[in-house]
Amino acid sequence: MNSVESCRRAGEMLARAEAVVVLTGAGISTESGIPDFRSPGGLWDRYDPTKLTFDRFCASAETRRDYWRLATETYPLLTRAEPNPAHLAVAAIEASGRLLKLVTQNIDGLHQRAGNSEQRTVEIHGSSLKAHCIDCGRPHDRAELHRRLLAGEIAVPECEACGGRVKPSTISFGQAMPEKETAEAFDAARDCDLMIVVGSSLQVYPAAALPDEAVRSGASLVIVNREPTPKDENATVIVRGSAAETMSLILKHAGDISAGFKAAADPMLR
């Protein structure tokens, strides 16, 4: 099946669906200019992730300095990025009333900026746009922390309430996955009738197990990714290609969903 036919079929499936779960990965955000840190030339070529584990962050002031140096470097990339048509397509699915949950592996907040609600969005790997104290749980203003770090007022943020360790609200290597968000994601996978995976290699667990859960529970599976994934054999429809272009074509064939999406995305597609 060629990509045009695959997009048509996926769009028709979306139009018929009543409870959709969308799972997104780095591939949807790279098209907004956010680099995949795991790819060659990415940040993990310059920062050794094995030295920035959660246990080291907790135990070592030096690791906390390195961690915040990395966070200060990446924060402007995230705040400058703009949602692309793939993000707008997911927002249009929610606006149509069909979205059960959006589960994103991304930490950039672009889905919310595109129009997805906090209530329907599960940030399974956390958010780099937020920060909190890992000792008392108090949230801290990420933008203000960034300003103070750049100004040299602080090198490592400390909690204003308890003097504890403040960390970006992302899941680090070796850190336990958030129980509430993980449970929400798997509950949604069991309850959906269609799962659409966009821009995920489906190699990072537990998110990579969500398509298996959906298919086991009787849902259809659409995978949109530039490269093959380990879950392709379970997919009803596979489309190889750009997230923005592919999701635009899928929405074109998705009946009443397409009208709202077209109005929002047209300026980007010209």
Domain architecture of the chain: domains with CATH: 1-34+83-125+178-270 (3.40.50.1220), 35-80+126-170 (3.30.1600.10)
Which of 70-74, 92-96, 173-177 holds the top average pLDDT? 92-96
Task: Tell me if residue 125 is catalytic.
Answer: yes
- Active-site hit among 111, 125, 132, 253: 125
* Residue range 61-83: mean pLDDT, rounded: 92
Q: pLDDT value at position 260?
A: 65
Q: Is the pLDDT of residue 43 over 70?
A: no
**Where residue 267 falls among pLDDT bands split at 50, 70, 90?**
very low
Stretch 79-96: mean pLDDT: 95
Asked if pLDDT for residue 64 goes beyond 80, the answer is: yes
Of residues 235 and 39, more confidently modeled: 235
Convert the chain into a string of H (helix), E (strand) and C (coil): CCHHHHHHHHHHHHHHCCCEEEEECHHHHHHHCCCCCCCCCCHHHCCCHHHCCHHHHHHCHHHHHHHHHHHHHHHHHHHHCCCCHHHHHHHHHHHCCCEEEEEECCCCCHHHHHCCCCCCEEECCEEEEEEEECCCCCEECHHHHHHHHHCCCCCCCECCCCCCEEEEEECCCCCCCCHHHHHHHHHHHHHCCEEEEECCCCCCCCHHHHHHHHHHCCCEEEEECCCCCCCHHHCCEEECCCHHHHHHHHHHCCCCHHHHHHHHHHHHHC
**Whether residue 44 has pLDDT greater than 90:** no
Whole-number pLDDT of residue 243: 95
pLDDT band at 270 (very low <50, low <70, confident <90, very high): very low
